[in-house]
Amino acid sequence: MHFKLLNKAGSKEVVELHGSAYRVMCLGCKSNYDRGYIQEKLKDTNPNFKEDSGIIRPDGDVEISTERLSEFLPPTCDNCGGILKPDIVFFGDNVPRPRVNLVNENLLEGDSLLILGSSLTVFSAYRIVLKALETNKNVAIVNIGPTRADELVKLKIRVRCGEILPLIC
């Protein structure tokens, strides 16, 4: 679930374990940008490239034909001209150590853990549930589909997060 949605719901200290597609970072100098700014840069750099040129997937990926790809100019970092990527952890990447440390600190300080909208398929998220259970924390999961930890927790609410969060916040 995205930080902006949780912030609207009143949550102030949210750790996005796998980052957010709403932020973009430079692989060179580590500068950070708002995704909206980068989208505008994309439009400015590629004025003849219409948004309907490709299919936009839920993860933000766009399918571009090979013929059109040679015309496309990706935006670069304003600071160093470096390569930009969404500030998310892709499969095969590691969650940044400072973020893992922050999650572990928060887990130790809290008395329970609420998982929202995750299947817990990737081990970096599932590991948090295991650690919470290992330290006798209460764990609840809100997810419309099955999760890797369904059999381990006492409370699983099978509903869309957007339907239940307004009711409990």
Out of 18, 99, 137, 156, pick the active-site residue.
18
Is 2 considered catalytic here? no
Question: CB-hemisphere CA count at 13 Å for 151?
Answer: 1
The residues carrying an active-site annotation are 18
